[in-house]
Amino acid sequence: PTGIDTETFSKPKRDIRKMLNLKGKKVLLYVGRLAKEKNVSFLLEVMKRMEKGVLLLMVGDGPERERLEEKAREERLNIIFTGRVPREELVDFYHAADIFVFASLTETQGLVVLESLSSGTPVVAIARKGIKNVLENGRGALLINEENVDAFSEKVKMLLQDEKLLERMREEGKKYVHEKWAMDVMVEKLEKVYEEAIEEGKIDVSIPVINMRKFMERMRFFKEALEVFEDLIWWR
C-alpha cells in the first residue's frame, strides 16, 4: 500500500453539499470506476432499502455508467452521478458524505476507503480480499462478511440513525489511518524492507505509482536521486 498523505484529506476546499443543494440530506458516497468488477449494482440495491432522505453520490465513470443511470431512473433512486472528478477534488466529496459505501469483491488495496477514513468519513464495506487487509471492523469501518444487501443496508441505517456512533466512528477512523496507514508510517516500514533487501544483495525495488513523488521524497534512499535528476523526472 502507498500510504495516505493525511494532510491532503484533512480539510475540504469546496462545500459540495452547498453546491449540490444537499442540505438536510443523509449522504452516502462511492468513489471509483463504474464497472462490473466494482459491484456497483449492489449499491443500487442498497439504495432501494434506504429512506427518502438518503442520497448516494456516485463519483466516477466507466463502462457501466449508462446502464446504472438508466436503472436508477427506472427505480427512481436518489442517486447523483457526478462523472469523473479530478483526484485533488476528491477530498471535497469525502467531507460532504456521512458514510462511504464500498461493495467491490475484487479490490487489491482499496485506497479510497483509507482516504475516506482520513477525511473523517466512516466506511461500510464488504470484507473481501484487499479490503479486509486494510480495514479493521469497528475502527472507522463496519465490514460485512458476505455479499448480503440486507445486512449491508442495516449497517448503513444503524450509522445514519445513531449520531453519537457516527461521530465516534469518524474519530476512530482518522486515528486508525494516522496510526497505521499514514505515508510517513508506510515510508518507515518500506525503508526497513529495502535496507534488508540491500543487505542481502537484493537491490531491485518497486515504488507504488500513486503518490510516487511524495513517497520518494520521504525516503532517504531516493532523496539524493530526486535532487540530482530533478529536471528529468517525467511526473513533474
Tracing cell 499514514 back to the chain, one arrives at 182
**Same domain, yes or no, for 86 and 171?**
yes
- List the strands of the sheet with 99-102, edge to edge: 79-83, 54-59, 26-31, 99-102, 123-126, 141-144
- Between 51-60, 129-138, 152-161, 190-199, the lowest mean confidence (pLDDT) is in 190-199
Per the structure block, which three cell numbers stand in for 232?
528529468
- Which pTM value belongs to this model? 0.83
**Same domain, yes or no, for 193 and 173?**
no
Domains contained in the chain, number: 2
The model's pLDDT over 129-149, given as tens digits with 9 standing for 90+, comes to: 789 999 999 999 999 999 999
The domain in which residue 187 lies consists of: 183-232
For residue 35, the number of C-alpha atoms closer than 13 Å in the C-beta half-sphere is 9
Q: What is the CATH number of the domain that holds 21?
A: 3.40.50.2000
Q: Averaged over 48-57, what is the pLDDT? A: 97
**Same domain, yes or no, for 70 and 126?**
yes
* Helix or strand run (H / E) with residue 19: helix 16-19
Residue ending a domain, among 161, 179, 197, is 179
Residue 29 near residue 93, CB atoms below 8 Å = yes
